[in-house]
A and B are shown apart, each in its own frame.
Chain A
Amino acid sequence: MIQIHGISKSFGNVVALQDINIEVQEGEIFGLIGPDGSGKTTLIRILTTLLLPDSGTATVMGLDVVKEYKNLRRVFGYMPGRFSLYEDLTVEENLELFASIFGTTVEANYHLIEDIYKQIEPFKSRRAGKLSGGMKQKLALSCAMIHQPKVIFLDEPTTGVDPVSRQEFWKMLKSLKKHGISIFVSTPYMDEASLCDRIALIQDGKLLSIDTPTAIVGQYEKEVYAIVSNKKHELLQDLRRYKDVESAFLFGSHIHYSDQKVSFDPRELIQYLEQLGHGEIEVDKIEPTIEDCFLALMGNANKTADA
């Protein structure tokens, strides 16, 4: 559905993308996961024919993003990161405009957007600029879907959105997947990784890893321990000073700790912490999260860069 081969892009001295290779299958939810400035938007703009790559090739639905951009623009859906509908048109007018641009009607494809659109239909005569953030999102997705695209690009649809609205948005994506639509979505939220079929982790324009979320977690080499004590603020520093520490990172109420030694004995660590005055210490072995993997991969990437 989407094929990306060796795509690179620089802006002046800044390398935005470096040798990106990705294949996205039909009907897949593919997540591009990385922080701001990692290259997510640049890649999506290249795939949506809005930006030319410096080198490499990419096709979407078999159409080349550079040579066949005119044909390609008719067939994909795109929801940019910034709200880009007409704020002084009503909800209904925006939707009709998008349908007519693509030579179709709202009625012809209503079944595709019904689940999403019916939530904002009561406000259909309201100007788009007067909608709440969550409603704007639903309208933007409806407009991106109205010409029945087979593949849709969503650039950070959930950034700055509260956890509740993020969940609702992902539910909408799951329902679109049922219609056989391939979804290419970027996000800075690591916890959204598990909702994708496959993900690529991106940092500084380079892919750190690309696989299913389960496989990426499976490749994590170290054991991860969640540690908590009654001296929350000191715990992190004390763990980082421990003789065999590999890494220690804040993770909500706990600190995720990995040890250099395979033969790590938690009892030894507990003793060390007790000597430093910690009490109520708990050390539990846990499954690493995608964020643990991202942190470890980022660490490796920096080590290679320094070497």
Chain B
Amino acid sequence: MQTRQPMPNEYSIDVQNLTKKFGAFTAVNEISFNTKKGEIFGFLGANGAGKSTAMKMLCGLLVPSSGQATVASFDINKESEKVKKRIGYMSQKFSLYQDLTARENIRFFGGIYGLSNKQIKEKTDELMERLHLTDFANTQVGDLPLGWKQKLAFSVAVFHGPEIVFLDEPTGGVDPVTRREFWEMIYATAKLGTTIFVTTHYMDESEYCDRVSIMVDGRIEALGSPKELKAKYHVKSMDELFLQLARPETVKIF
């Protein structure tokens, strides 16, 4: 089969041999992968496998030691400021300002991403309604339940219509109902063409992704759809696969 050269812009993220070294330690070791428009891509790995370092490079926050990557067609080495404008980001640790209200947070982030006051105002009301947050629009975010906060944070991260949104463990600690509602929001956003790049420690959530990669010691050890990977490694669940790859000697007890 002939390999086809990708057209420019075909991939929302295109990574080739990306590497990051800290002194003698190689945190990310020549990883290569790409994501398509509207794809939900799960980026898995044990703590310390190099996920956060890789993600920081893709968000333009950390300069790679070697290798190439384009994010939203911009080179992360040369055009990191342009990359930052075309992506959204949320994590469990930092997402919103706790002492601003929901409305103020939206205005703040909308302003940062260069939306006009008119655009912000129109979209804010629509968003508040969609999240059933209208009654709480003027409540400080710190006083909202975690699940609402996370849904609001996600909405803020995609507010400026980014091509890719990076989600770093977005559902940690969230109750089972809200966790599922959150994934339904992810599906809806992906359907509109936004690429979702997501890390999670919940292996059932990795099944919701179109494709996943599993990082072990700085390298991508496995890459494919959950179905393909389970068939390839002869395992029943992603949990089993993760344990097999991440620490083969660990015996399964769940």
Within A149-169, which residues are at the interface with B (CB < 8 Å)? 159-165, 167-168
Residue from A163, A249, A250 within 8 A of B239 (CB atoms) = A163
Is the CB–CB distance between B173 and A253 below 8 Å? no
Closest A residue to B202 using CB positions: A189
Q: A294 to B204, alpha carbons, bound, how many Å?
A: 16
Residue from B183, B246, B253 within 8 A of A170 (CB atoms) = B253
Is the CB–CB distance between A167 and B250 below 8 Å? yes
Residues of B within 8 A of A252 (CB): 203-205, 207-208, 237-238
Is the CB–CB distance between B237 and A291 below 8 Å? no
How many interface residues does chain B have, given as a range?
35 or more
Residue from B48, B145, B254 within 8 A of A195 (CB atoms) = B254
Q: In this assembly, does A115 line the interface, its C-beta being within 8 Å of a C-beta of chain B?
A: no
Is the CB–CB distance between A164 and B246 below 8 Å? yes
Q: In this assembly, does A89 line the interface, its C-beta being within 8 Å of a C-beta of chain B?
A: no
Q: In this assembly, does A285 line the interface, its C-beta being within 8 Å of a C-beta of chain B?
A: no
Within B217-254, which residues are at the interface with A (CB < 8 Å)? 226-227, 237-239, 242-243, 246-247, 250, 252-254
Q: Please tell me the number of chain A residues within 8 Å of chain B, measured between CB atoms.
A: 38
Q: A274 to B205, alpha carbons, bound, how many Å?
A: 26
Q: A250 to B172, alpha carbons, bound, how many Å?
A: 17
Residues of B within 8 A of A134 (CB): 47
Residues of A within 8 A of B187 (CB): 233
Is the CB–CB distance between A159 and B172 below 8 Å? yes
Residues of B within 8 A of A191 (CB): 254
Q: In this assembly, does A86 line the interface, its C-beta being within 8 Å of a C-beta of chain B?
A: no
Q: A37 to B243, alpha carbons, bound, how many Å?
A: 29
B42 CB, nearest partner CB in chain A, Å: 12
Closest A residue to B92 using CB positions: A160
Residue from B146, B172, B177, B242 within 8 A of A160 (CB atoms) = B172
Q: In this assembly, does A295 line the interface, its C-beta being within 8 Å of a C-beta of chain B?
A: yes
Residues of A within 8 A of B45 (CB): 162
Say whether chain A's binding surface is mostly helix, strand, loop, or mixed: helix
Is the CB–CB distance between B47 and A35 below 8 Å? no
Is the CB–CB distance between B243 and A163 below 8 Å? yes
List, sorted by A's number, 15 A–B pairs whose CB atoms are closer than 8 Å: A34-B175, A35-B176, A37-B145, A159-B173, A162-B46, A163-B243, A164-B243, A167-B254, A171-B253, A191-B254, A195-B253, A203-B175, A253-B227, A291-B176, A295-B176
Residues of B within 8 A of A203 (CB): 175
Residue from B92, B169, B183, B227 within 8 A of A250 (CB atoms) = B183
Query: A179-218 interface mask toward B, CB cutoff 8 Å, 1 = contact, 0 = none?
Result: 0000000001011101100000001000000000000000
A contact set with B: CB distance below 8 Å: 34-38, 132-134, 159-165, 167-168, 170-171, 188, 190-192, 194-195, 203, 233, 236, 249-253, 291, 294-295, 298-299
Q: A286 to B242, alpha carbons, bound, how many Å?
A: 23
Query: B166-196 interface mask toward A, CB cutoff 8 Å, 1 = contact, 0 = none?
Result: 0001001111111010011001000100000
Q: In this assembly, does B201 line the interface, its C-beta being within 8 Å of a C-beta of chain A?
A: yes
Residues of B within 8 A of A295 (CB): 176-177
A140 CB, nearest partner CB in chain B, Å: 15
Whether A250 contacts B180 in the complex (CB less than 8 A), given A162-B201, A162-B246, A163-B203, comes out as: yes
Is the CB–CB distance between B48 and A163 below 8 Å? no
Is the CB–CB distance between A164 and B226 below 8 Å? no
Whether A133 contacts B243 in the complex (CB less than 8 A), given A188-B173, A203-B175, A233-B191, comes out as: no
Is the CB–CB distance between B177 and A298 below 8 Å? yes
Closest B residue to A191 using CB positions: B254
Residues of B within 8 A of A250 (CB): 180, 183-184, 208
Q: A307 to B48, alpha carbons, bound, how many Å?
A: 48
Residues of A within 8 A of B201 (CB): 160-163
Q: A300 to B209, alpha carbons, bound, how many Å?
A: 30
B18 CB, nearest partner CB in chain A, Å: 22
Whether A164 contacts B242 in the complex (CB less than 8 A), given A36-B174, A298-B176, comes out as: yes
Closest B residue to A14 using CB positions: B143
Q: A99 to B126, alpha carbons, bound, how many Å?
A: 58
A167-B253, A252-B237 known, 5 other contacts, Cβ within 8 Å: A132-B48, A167-B252, A188-B173, A188-B174, A250-B183
Is the CB–CB distance between B175 and A132 below 8 Å? no
Q: A190 to B180, alpha carbons, bound, how many Å?
A: 14
Residues of A within 8 A of B239 (CB): 163
Closest A residue to B206 using CB positions: A252
Q: A244 to B225, alpha carbons, bound, how many Å?
A: 32
